[in-house]
């Protein structure tokens, strides 16, 4: 039962981070929507390739480990909680370049 409480606490923190970040990102998008930009402007590479590769490796390992032992079934929800927290943090950090 203790793992449920840990997942619940982590989920609550991730949800809070996600909604705070989402709110901040939406407000910034609305604020910047009236600004004009050059249509030929290209977006710089965000450098998220390694993060995406890491996410694929982690999810593949989770599926593999869940087939080996039932205890690893808890990794899936923990990865989902981590993804929600990561998205919230990404909204909060924004584009600081």
Long-range pairs, 46-55, Cβ under 8 A, ≥24? 55/83
Strand, helix or coil for residue 31: helix
At residue 4, the pLDDT reads: 82
Domain count, the chain: 1
What is the residue range of 17's domain?
7-26+48-97
Q: What is the pLDDT of residue 86?
A: 86
| Whole-number pLDDT of residue 57 | 92
Report yes or no on 21 lying in a domain: yes
pLDDT computed for residue 26 by the predictor: 87
Mean pLDDT, rounded, for 2-9: 85
Per the listing, tokens 């997942």 go with 7
Asked if residue 35 is part of any domain, the answer here is no
53 inside domain: yes
Q: pLDDT tens digits, residue range 26-82?
A: 888 888 877 766 655 556 666 778 878 888 898 899 889 989 998 888 888 888 888
pLDDT range class, residue 19, cuts 50, 70, 90:
very high
Per-residue pLDDT at 97 exceeds 60: no
């Amino acid at each position: 039962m203790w793992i449920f409480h840990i997942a619940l606490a982590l989920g609550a923190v991730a949800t809070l981070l996600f909604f705070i970040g989402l709110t901040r990102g939406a407000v910034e998008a609305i604020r910047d929507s009236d600004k004009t930009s050059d249509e030929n402007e290209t977006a710089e590479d965000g450098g998220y390739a390694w993060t995406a590769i890491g996410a694929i490796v982690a999810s593949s390992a989770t599926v593999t480990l869940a087939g080996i032992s039932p205890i690893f079934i808890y990794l899936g929800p923990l990865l989902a909680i981590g993804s929600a927290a990561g998205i919230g943090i990404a909204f909060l950090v924004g584009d600081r370049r």
